């Protein structure tokens, strides 16, 4: 089994970790809300429900993404991760809107808070759980190039920021007695969460649109190819895209027409090997062409079409 395939099959366990963390924090935050009556803590508990939904969706999509290629999906199922990432971002936006709505209602109808010390301690414990799990998942997401895990980690970190904001709001109420500080802080936190959710949705859409590799990976790609492009060898039609944890690279290599097949094949094998060493989880497709054939210069675009000389 290829290394990337083995890694992909282990990724759902990190999503399960996120789900367990969500269950634990739901219990802690609900307890904190019941103790204090804080709308901020209630909003925080509601976001943990969203975290649980996002984690279960991540489990499902990571399981789909780990499936091998088949007749209907010859390029694999990696793009399933973008659906999970986009849905995670959408869930964050929904949670932020619900939080803002609850905060406005409490701002219009203030309510005294109770048992603030114990409530804050319970909420802080939940935030620490989310922080620890988020850091573990984010590290795994970056190591394996999983957009689903990175989005899920970002979601949990957003929850941490929410909890921090709520703690500040509730603490401010405890220190000043001004009840309106609780919903105002909740509103500010909801705006920050909306910004994060929008960014995650945008990243998911970008991935579904077959965007090129990151600038850093494109630089690594160029460096891998450069040692092989020595006169008279040339390269064109270089394209790249990312699909979940997988990268796809294609290019045309032009060599003198009098080269034999074996010599051209060996050059392509060296180029492909260097690209795979430079870019993890890369699937490389090369096409050998003759420098002496005019048709070799007519297929730089994605759709080759007819050569200009043959057009009517």
Residues 234 and 177 in one domain: no
Sign of CA dihedral 18, 23, 26, 29: negative
**What would the two tokens of residue 250 be?**
């294609």
Q: What is the dihedral of CA 221, 222, 226, 227, to 10 degrees?
A: -30
Between the alpha carbon of residue 126 and those of residues 17, 93, 137, 153, 174, the distances in Å are 15, 21, 17, 15, 20
CA distance 60 to 146: 14
**Among candidate residues 161, 189, 208, the one where a domain is terminated:** 208
DSSP class of residue 301 equals S
Contacts of 273 (CB under 8 A, 6+ apart): none
pTM of the model as a whole? 0.61
Distance CA 32, CA 266 (A): 66
**Rounded to whole angstroms, how far apart are CA atoms 263 and 87?**
49
Whether 220 and 174 map to the same domain: the answer is: no
Residues 81 and 121 in one domain: yes
Whether 177 and 227 map to the same domain: the answer is no
Mean pLDDT for each consecutive 10-residue tract of the chain (312 residues)?
56 85 84 72 70 80 79 77 79 79 76 64 82 90 81 80 74 73 76 80 79 87 94 91 83 93 94 92 90 82 56 42
Domain with residue 245: its CATH number is: 3.30.70.1350
**Same domain as 149, residue 99:** yes
The CATH number that applies at residue 58 is 1.20.1510.10
pLDDT at 5: 53
Question: How many structural domains are present in the chain?
Answer: 2
Domain shared by 158 and 266, yes or no: no
The pLDDT value given to residue 8:
60
Cα separation, 273 vs 281, in Å, equals 12
Given 165, 191, 208, which residue is the final one in a domain?
208
Residues 55 and 201 in one domain: yes
Place of tokens 């804050």: 120
Looking at the fold, whether 204 and 225 belong to one and the same domain comes out as no
- Phi then psi for residue 53, to 5 deg, are -60, -40
Number of C-alpha atoms within 13 angstroms, CB side, residue 12?
15
Residue 150 in contact with residue 141, Cβ under 8 Å?
A: yes
133/232 same-domain check: no
Question: What is the distance between the terminal CA atoms of the chain, rounded to a whole angstrom?
Answer: 50
Query: The domain containing residue 119 runs over which residues?
Result: 3-208
What is the C-alpha separation between 36 and 186, in angstroms, rounded?
A: 15
Q: Domain check: are 56 and 102 in the same one?
A: yes
Residue 260's pLDDT is 93
pLDDT for res 32: 75
The structure tokens 């730089």 sit at 300
pLDDT of residue 115: 59
């Amino acid at each position: 089994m290829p290394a990337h395939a083995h890694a992909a099959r282990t990724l759902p366990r990190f999503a399960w970790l996120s789900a367990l963390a969500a269950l634990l924090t739901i219990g802690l935050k609900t307890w904190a809300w019941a103790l204090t009556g804080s709308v901020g803590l209630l909003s925080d508990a509601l976001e943990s429900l969203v975290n649980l939904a996002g984690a279960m969706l991540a489990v499902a999509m990571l399981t789909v993404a780990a499936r091998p290629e088949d007749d209907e999906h010859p390029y694999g199922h990696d793009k399933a991760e973008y659906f999970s990432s986009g849905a995670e971002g959408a869930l964050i936006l929904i949670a932020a809107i619900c939080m803002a709505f609850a905060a406005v209602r409490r701002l219009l109808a203030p309510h005294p808070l109770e048992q603030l010390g114990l409530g804050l301690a319970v909420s802080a414990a939940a935030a620490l759980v989310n922080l620890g799990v988020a850091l573990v998942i984010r590290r795994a997401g970056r190591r394996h190039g999983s957009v689903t895990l990175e989005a899920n980690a970002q979601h949990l970190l957003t929850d941490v920021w929410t909890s921090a904001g709520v703690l500040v709001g509730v603490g401010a109420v405890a220190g000043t007695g001004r009840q309106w500080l609780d919903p105002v802080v909740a509103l500010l936190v909801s705006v920050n969460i909306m910004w994060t959710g929008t960014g995650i949705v945008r990243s998911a859409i970008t991935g579904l649109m077959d965007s090129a590799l990151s600038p850093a990976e494109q630089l690594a790609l160029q460096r891998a190819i450069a040692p092989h492009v020595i006169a008279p060898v040339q390269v064109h039609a270089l394209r790249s895209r990312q699909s979940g944890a997988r990268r796809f690279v294609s290019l045309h290599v032009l060599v003198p027409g009098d080269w034999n097949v074996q010599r051209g094949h060996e050059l392509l094998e060296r180029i492909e090997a260097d690209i795979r060493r430079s870019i993890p989880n890369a699937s490389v497709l090369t096409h050998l062409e003759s420098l002496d054939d005019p048709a070799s210069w007519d297929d730089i675009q994605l759709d080759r079409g007819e050569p200009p000389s043959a057009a009517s």
